[in-house]
Amino acid sequence: MTTSGNTSPRLLFALLDWGLGHATRTAPLIAFAAEQGWDVHVASHGTALAFLQSNCAHPKVSFHEKPNQSISYAKRGNAIKIAWQIPGFLRNISREQKWTEAFVAQHGITHILSDNCYGVHSSQASSILISHQWHLPVGWWLGRFARIFVRRQARPFDALWTPDRIVNPGFSGRLGSSSHMPTIERIGVLSRLPKDAKPGPWKRVGMVSGLEPHRQLMEDALRRWMQHDGQGGLIIAGRPGGTVQVDGSITTWPNPSADELASALQGAEQIVCRSGYSSLLDLAALNVIAVLVPTPGQAEQAYLAKHWAASFGFATCSQSQLEDGNIPKVQGELDGETANERAFQMLLLWVTP
């Protein structure tokens, strides 16, 4: 482990920047680390880094860009387009590794928490990989190779953490299955949203997330749905740096604070959102239900929507159904989950045993 004249722990949080999900779920861990007085470095890219800079500002936190492999989606045929980008993704793991070793030496990093960044680990610092995808959602003919790949990428890390509840059925379902992995610890639900927020005035809330072009396609579909009967609602656009818009009965928030978002979700009678894992963790933390709309071509979100429908009774609809305004009624039931407490305890024991 790297040592220096400063005995304070020096943490590096590295986050995948494919959308905002990895950033939002790691934000409470970053805030907790800063409150302990530790030196905190946050590395990501693009909108994820912009989100963290605006939501995790603290004298003990500094922000950095790390090597990045952008991923792009198509309106149709996503699986094929993603497959073409895999070689670049693998090259980026090597770039991340070289960058990490130099960064650890330069900043005296003692602990690394990598959220799905396979290349961010070091023999000179205690390294943890956090993920909810130990069992990649691929076809059976690729299953064996996917398991070997994930196991190989996880091997250099000292510990593996999954943001999921302790009891079964877990929120991640078979994605979080660890039967082919070393010991994986569930650290409970991660969410930046406070559970005691005062309910907001909007009866319909649409949460937009993910990468283009599907982020904009979802926002446009939600806007048409809310305009159709004149009831309006609130759209959470997922655009850090944007401005609030009010168009008749529809309000658009580009990047609400944790308190604002929690308030809006607590007061809503109907919520429509992607079935991205971080969005699902936020729903669990607030004990609210929603209609889940998986991003087309994303096997992970398609699986999670089915898993939450089967295990928790949630309603789901496709992107095309959303665009047609054919949205089912909200249904389902969740048990109350206490977010972050177990994760904070584990982080504290890891850094200051």
Domain layout of the chain by residue ranges: 10-189+339-351, 204-323
Please report the sign of the dihedral spanned by the C-alpha atoms of residue 182, residue 183, residue 189, residue 191: negative
Quick: pLDDT tens for 214-261.
889 999 999 999 998 888 999 999 888 889 999 999 999 998 999 999
10-189+339-351 and 204-323, same CATH topology: yes
Tokens 């904070």, residue? 344
pLDDT at residue number 344: 98
**What pLDDT shows up at residue 3?**
41
**In whole angstroms, how far apart are CA 270 and each of 186, 196, 204?**
30, 19, 5
pLDDT tens readout for residues 84-126: 546 667 788 999 999 999 999 999 999 999 999 999 999 999 9
Tens of pLDDT along the chain (353 residues) come to 444 445 789 999 999 987 788 999 999 999 999 999 999 999 999 989 999 999 999 999 999 999 986 655 545 545 555 555 466 677 889 999 999 999 999 999 999 999 999 999 999 999 999 999 998 887 777 778 888 889 999 999 999 999 999 999 999 999 998 776 768 999 999 999 999 999 999 999 999 987 788 889 999 999 999 998 888 999 999 888 889 999 999 999 998 999 999 999 999 999 999 999 999 999 999 999 999 999 988 889 999 999 999 999 999 999 999 999 999 999 898 988 899 999 999 999 999 98
Predicted pLDDT of residue 79:
53
Q: What share of the chain is helix, strand, coil (3-state, %, to 5)?
A: 40, 15, 45
- The answer to whether domain 10-189+339-351 has CATH 3.40.50.2000 is yes
Three-state SS for 292?
strand
* DSSP per position, 8-64: S-EEEEEE--SSSHHHHHHHHHHHHHHHTT-EEEEEE-HHHHHHHHHHS--TTEEEE
Q: What is the pLDDT of residue 40?
A: 98
- Return the CATH class of domain 204-323: alpha beta
Rounded to whole angstroms, how far apart are CA atoms 7 and 13?
19
